[in-house]
Amino acid sequence: MSAKQEKRERRHKKIRVNMNGTTERPRLFVFRSNAHIYAQLIDDSKAKILMSASDADLKSGKGKSELKKSDMAKQVGILIAKKAVEKKIEKVVFDRGGILFHGRIKAVAEGAREGGLKF
C-alpha cells in the first residue's frame, strides 16, 4: 500500500471514531477510485447498507462517455438522494472517507443536496 493510501485510511479511521449513522440519519459514504465513484447509505447501528449508487448504475441515455467525471459524480449524488427520498430518508451524515472535500467528492455532495438530502 502506498504512503498516500495509508494517510487517507488513517484520516478516515480518525473521522469514523466520532461519526455514526443511525436508522433515522444514516451515513452517506462516498468512495472515489481513479475511474469510478460510489455512494452508499449505511446504518451503523445495524451494520447494514441501506442503498447504494455508482456511476455504473447510471443509464447511458445522455452518452455516459461524454460526461466528465465530476458531472458523473453529481449524477451519482442525485441518484442516491432520489433513492433515499423514496425510502423517506431526508437527513444524512456525510462521510468523505478521508478524501479532501473538493472535486468529485464535492460534486456528489452538491448532487445529493440538490436531490433533497440535508447534511
Residue 20 has a pLDDT of: 87
What SS3 state is found at 67?
coil
pLDDT band at 64 (very low <50, low <70, confident <90, very high): low
Residue 65 has a pLDDT of: 67
Q: Name every residue whose Cβ is closer than 8 Å to that of residue 48 and which is 6 or more positions away in sequence.
A: 42
Q: What is the total count of domains within the chain? A: 1
Amino acid at 49: I
Q: What range defines the domain where residue 46 resides?
A: 3-115
Cell of 13: 479511521
Residue 60 has a pLDDT of: 60
Mind listing the pLDDT tens digit for each residue in 74-103? 999 999 999 999 999 999 999 999 899 999
- Residue 64: CATH number of its domain: 3.30.420.100
pLDDT band at 19 (very low <50, low <70, confident <90, very high): confident
State the average pLDDT for the chain: 91
